[in-house]
Structure formats: C-alpha cells, structure tokens
Amino acid sequence: MTPQNFYKGQARFLVSVDCVILGFIGNDIKLLTFRRKIEPNVGGLSLLGGFVYEDETIDEAANRVVSALTGLDNVYMDQVGAYGNLDRDPGERVISVVYYALISIDDYKNSIISASDSQWVNLDRAEELIFDHKQMVDDAITQLRQQAALFPIGFNLLPERFTLTQLQTLYESIYAEKLDKRNFRKKILSMNILERLDEKDKINSKRGAYYFVFNKEKYEEMLRRGSSFSI
C-alpha cells in the first residue's frame, strides 16, 4: 500500500526511549548510567536510551535498548510515562517515553556486555543526570514502590535463590525504610509463594540461613483462590 500523506504540513518530532535500569547490589537499589558520548551535554551522566526506529513499536525500542546495553533479554519492564517539555533536550525537539527495568545483578555480571562503559550509581546521584532524567528516575521509583507493594516484581532484582534476610533488605531498599522482621516474615510466608531449599547460606549467616526461591505456580494459584500479594 502506498503511504498517504494525511498529515501534510504538520510538525515532525523525534521520539526516543529512556530506560531507568535498576539493580540490587549489596543492600541498595542502584541505577545503571553512562557518560554521554555526543553533544549536547557530552560527558554528562545519563540514563540509557535511544531513538525509536520507524519499523518498531515503542515497547520494542525499549527492549532493544535494554538488551543491547545489558546483554539481557526478557527483562521485567514497565512504562513510566512520556516527557515532552519544549526545552527538555537542547539539541532538538525530542519526546521521550520512559520505562523502568528490573534486572538481577548476577545475570548482568554474567552477560557479555557487563564490562561496557556503563556504571552503577546510588540513586542520590540522580541529581547529576542530564536533561530531565532526574525527574524520570524519581517518577520511576515512585511507580516501583507502588507496584512492589501489590505485585511480586521485586523478585526480578534478586538472584534465583535468596534468603529471607536478603528479601527483607531488598524491600527496605525499595521503600527506603526499615521493616519489622517478624511482621515481614509472617506476611511473606503466609502467602505460601516461596519454596524453601535444603541449602543454607553459611557465608552471611553464622548459623546458616535457608535459601528460598519464588514459586510462580504457587503465586498464580494464590491469585486463583482470590488472594492477593501485599507487602
């Protein structure tokens, strides 16, 4: 079919995606960044992103960017929103659609691209980001906190097996507040969505803490029973 120019005379803009890629390193949520290689703001601390190609959807563009820059596929991602202030990019009029992605740092370390020039930084370094990227990070973290309380998306940040202490530390990092140990464990175990392994972590625990894995089938069964995830 020959393309029809139905919108002749209308302004054309560039469309990009920016990705707030988050990982759980040590006891903190970290942000994956890189130093911008082109003008404007060459050398500035930036989120990872790119322009949307003519033959792909916005979701496909975001997945392409994350895969190309982390070496990982099938990453958990969710759209945060669109950013289109007139002066947001001094180079040209660019409308950016933002996604946040949650990746396991173990998977990232084992990927073929983990040795690239990207760098993990603390979330408070968002103040240094170029353009409106700080606002993007702030909005992404707000959305993450809302969704992590209602859906088990936090497990995407953990290795396949984890201890209850690791799990609690993760959620404390997400919410930026301390959680009561007894209440947290009672709530998470009452949902019956974790499977305890016979193996123990004897490096970070003197007595040895059991490893657990998230059981997706049990989670889906819980939903079918009419129960819901809540932390």
- For the segment 97-102, the average pLDDT, to the nearest whole number, is 98
Residue 189 main-chain phi, psi, to 5 deg: -75, -30
Name 22's bridge partners.
Answer: 31, 102
Q: Which residue has the higher pLDDT, 4 or 168?
A: 168
- pLDDT surpassing 70 at residue 77: yes
- For the segment 151-174, the average pLDDT, to the nearest whole number, is 97
User: Mapping DSSP to helix (H, G, I), strand (E, B) and coil, where does residue 19 land?
Assistant: strand
The pair of structure tokens assigned to 104 is 């396991």
pLDDT (tens digit per residue) in 100-144: 999 999 999 888 665 467 899 999 999 999 999 999 999 999 999
Instruction: Give the sign of the dihedral formed by CA 122, CA 170, CA 143, CA 65.
Output: positive
The CATH architecture assigned to 14-148 reads Alpha-Beta Complex (3.90)
pLDDT confidence of residue 115: 47
- Where do you find CATH 3.90.79.10 in the chain? 14-148
pLDDT confidence of residue 1: 54
The pair of structure tokens assigned to 71 is 């070496």
Q: Which amino acid is at 228?
A: S
Q: Which residues contact 91 (CB under 8 A, 6 or more apart)?
A: 39, 40
pLDDT confidence of residue 203: 83
pLDDT (tens digit per residue) in 31-48: 999 999 999 999 999 999
- Where do you find CATH 1.10.10.10 in the chain? 158-224
CATH of 158-224 given 2.10.109.10, 1.10.10.10, 1.10.3720.10, 3.40.309.10:
1.10.10.10
Give pTM, 2 decimals: 0.93
> From CA 61, how far away is CA 99, in angstroms rounded?
11
